[in-house]
Structure 1
């Protein structure tokens, strides 16, 4: 069983609470309590504590829970890719201009609509065997503008080389036309303002979105791309970089946001549901929750089981199934 633990940053929690996110208790307790099962040695009668997981708050603003979710998705996808005999895929990024934080949700709707139209374009329609998309947050400026873009992987049923592979200029033209039509239909304000500015300034070519496309023909390369697009969202630094007003807006925009979508051969595995959090107690009769102090003592006593992962206060562990 793999899990991540991290001592929560008081600055992070205080800032979220000040911005109107009233789930401090859940965020504060995330990863602070360990679920254990007592195992009895049949020969000696000795009782040992076996960890089976940590309490998770599953809050949309929790960096730990978001990292774990992405980690699980990445592992599932990589195992699928490693079982493939051959690999024909394309990787591309849809990257619009930066927008104010209050338009995050609207921009993501435009991006998702653009991807759906690309997927159904005549060049790709009958060739796609699977897809993955991932929303990524870029930098935030002092004027509270954010750069949001989408990474996409399409698994193709035939070759992605030579004449069978679309040129980047042609692809960019297709994406711009699609983005243009969807943004106009949804009356996406930042896009409409930008377009008017460009028309008034007599620019010859208005490019609403930048993109690039690459062919992938090796298992190792597509795994590399999976690791890249499913990396941590770095929510902690993002949250700490926002002022109170912008953070309040950010929280309202990403509630229930789904960062990753997938389908076809990359669909979620139909495996037994992973037990987590309070479900442990119902599944295991002798399962109980250690308090915060005992959890910290256990970690200190069993340091060899916990390898440093990501940052100084974050740990990653691979402990066998109970």
Structure 2
């Protein structure tokens, strides 16, 4: 990081995480930020990715581009989830190495860990048990991304790092009625129920699973923090076989509690019903974030405050769509 204004490529800059990383970089004074839309650069096309890196002379990469979604999307499109993510990761990592990129940050997902992992989940629990079946193809792709970075570091001496975020939410989220993650799905469902005057909202699952959530701008801040660390500091808390670092809030909440909190933030006053015939997914998923805290970073956005910000962003999108 000797260059005070490195040329930084943010892959996936229109997504939830990528857009937050762009905001975080700009807030910290970085001005030489390179982005490409999906139409401008197809990341599953190796020739296109190679040409991009040859032409742009990138110094650092944030690899936030990914096909993502909730339980329904993972169950419905397993082939797309494993193929697209594998191809994007392989192309970007390999061509970044070929082009001599100085530093790369790969963003994974906490679903990489075993379904019944000991809690809280430490980085070394990776591949220590069976994955959650509902998102196994996505998880396998993300594990491959970590191993790509580790393998290039071991063989070629690159500085490719990985961070594993917990469940994220906030501005830029996907509010698709079937394919979104839990918080945006709840926000949309409660908002529509409120607008329609519905008496009740039905939530998938029993409500018992415990989940950890992190406001996306906190995730972006953590990502920039990790990328800014000297290699010696990063290496001091990792090892070649478990080089990734967990990123989370360190707090968890049940889906039952979360649903009532989202309903309160949105202003829904009806009844909340849980459909236990639908899948719950992993029973509990709390990340151990001691490594990240030892590097000087902790989350600072409480869940209730983050939900208010997320709902405000959702309303802004709804207004923009209505006036377009």
Of structures 1 and 2, the one scoring higher in RCO (CA 8 A, sep 6+) is: 1
Choose between structure 1 and 2: higher strand proportion.
1
Check whether TM > 0.5: no
Whose helix fraction is larger, Structure 1's or Structure 2's?
Answer: 2
Q: TM-score range by the shorter chain?
A: under 0.3
